[in-house]
Amino acid sequence: MAILRRMFATNQTQTTQTTQNAATNTVNNQNQITVQAWGAKQAGRVDAHPDALLPCLQSVLIYTEQKIREDVEEQERRKDEIRQEISGLEAKNNDVDTNIKSEVEKLKHEEGKIEKLQSEISDIRMHPQQITKDSFTKASFYIGAVIISFLTIYLFVFYSSAAYSAFFKNFTPEDGVIQAIFDAEAFFKAWNDGFAELILILTIPAVFLGLGFLIHKFQEQKNWGKYLKIAGLVVVTFAFDFILAYEITKKLYNIEAQGAFEDMPPMTISYAFQQVNFWLIIFAGFVVYLIWGFVFSFVMDEYEKMDRVNYAIKTREKRIAEYKTECKSIREIIKGLQTDKNKRQGEIESLRIKLNRPIIYFNDVRQNISGFFAGWLSYMYTVQKPNTDIAICTNIKDRFLANLQNNVDTGQPAQTHTIVRDN
């Protein structure tokens, strides 16, 4: 630095003026001196001192800018290239606008589908008969379900007790018809009597409930034969009930006959028809069984209606979920297109700024800097400068170009011109 201060203390003004004059002279008389020769000449004037290289490189930059700026024809050609690039980007953005408009229309269409399905779901919930084609209320189903639950429990207890009383129970004089058909200890007594007895009284109720279920299934058939099948099931069920009622009535009658003071006629079927207990058992079992069948059919019909309504709603909800997924995909496409458009618009604005300034390519500067420095080095080799000085000068030149390149890459143009990347 001491050498630099001494050198520039007396010759700074002269050196700077000489460098700029050389640049001006070179611009005015390019055929008389080359950039490389200029570099050798400048090196000779400052004895190729490393501290003088950076101002000289600045002069080369100024020289290059001035030369390119004054070349009107070249500037117009370069600006035409930028205008063409802007036109190409604008055309792409127009295409993007068309695509965005198309995607927006698709999005509106999908959203319209969702709104329509949501409206249909609301209508179905308010007017389920449009699906069931018949009147329907959930209250009817739930009330029927409660009734069928209690009737099922009733029939299970009745037929279990009646079966045990008819086939296994030993009656006593204290037993009546109520104890015969509603025996709370029937299960425990059957368990004590044996495993087979327990299985029988547990499965007999299932037989009657199964017959009632078959009646419902036959009602769903469309041919006239279903009525014969239903009538047959009713007759079979009545026959079972008749047997149970007759056996229980007979056992009760026999107990009564054993304790009577007078002889009583033997129990016959015709005589059983005259017994109140017989008809009480029939009505307590068979009639309730018929009621259970009717209620069961009603509940199943209502459930089918409700199931159709639920299925219709779930089907539409599934379609809504699919449409929402499609809408999400479309929005992502629109977002991507808009991002591309905004990025391209930023490039267009940047290019328009370049049009307002002289266009200088980085390669213009790099070529002249390299040529100038080649002349500078030739002088240093001629006068046999130390390798350390050569390395220092090379590093100064490289850092100068690197800084300039960095300004280009980060989009930091000078105030009066635009240095852009090479084409």
How far apart are the C-alpha atoms of 403 and 284, rounded to whole Å? 106
- In the chain, the amino acid numbered 332 is E
Same domain, 150 and 261: yes
The separation between the first and the last C-alpha atoms of the chain, rounded to the nearest angstrom, is 40
Same domain, 316 and 368: no
Same domain, 65 and 133: no
Q: Tell me which DSSP letter residue 286 carries.
A: I
Query: Does 368 map to a domain?
Result: yes
Quickly list DSSP for 77-115: HHHHHHHHHHHHHHHHHHHHHHHHHHHHHHHHHHHHHHH
Query: Does 276 map to a domain?
Result: yes
Same domain, 166 and 239: yes
Same domain, 52 and 187: no
Residue 188's pLDDT band, with cuts at 50, 70 and 90, is low
Same domain, 140 and 260: yes
In order of 231, 233, 238, the CA distances from 226 in angstroms are 9, 11, 18
Q: What are phi and psi of 419, to 5 degrees?
A: -95, 125
Query: What pLDDT was estimated at residue 109?
Result: 92
Which tens digit of pLDDT belongs to each residue from 9-57?
333 334 344 443 444 344 333 423 588 888 888 888 988 899 999 999 9
Same domain, 300 and 402: no
Stretch 178-190: mean pLDDT? 64
Same domain, 178 and 300: yes
Which tens digit of pLDDT belongs to each residue from 211-256?
778 877 777 777 787 888 888 888 888 888 888 788 777 777 776 6
Query: Is the whole model's pTM more than 0.85, yes or no?
Result: no
Same domain, 187 and 305: yes
Query: Does 347 map to a domain?
Result: no
Same domain, 289 and 397: no
Average model confidence (pLDDT) across the chain: 78
Instruction: Report the percent of the chain where pLDDT is more than 70.
Output: 78
> Count of domains in the chain?
2
Query: Does 114 map to a domain?
Result: no
Query: Does 334 map to a domain?
Result: no
Residue finishing a domain among 304, 325, 346: 325
Query: Does 214 map to a domain?
Result: yes
Instruction: Report the percent of the chain where pLDDT is more than 90.
Output: 18
Same domain, 280 and 216: yes
The residue that leads in pLDDT, 259 or 382, is 382
Query: Does 180 map to a domain?
Result: yes
Which tens digit of pLDDT belongs to each residue from 166-179?
776 666 555 555 55
How far apart are the C-alpha atoms of 232 and 222, rounded to whole Å? 17
Same domain, 202 and 144: yes
Domain membership of residue 168 as a residue range: 129-325
- Chain centroid to Cα 343, Å, comes to 28
Query: Does 352 map to a domain?
Result: no
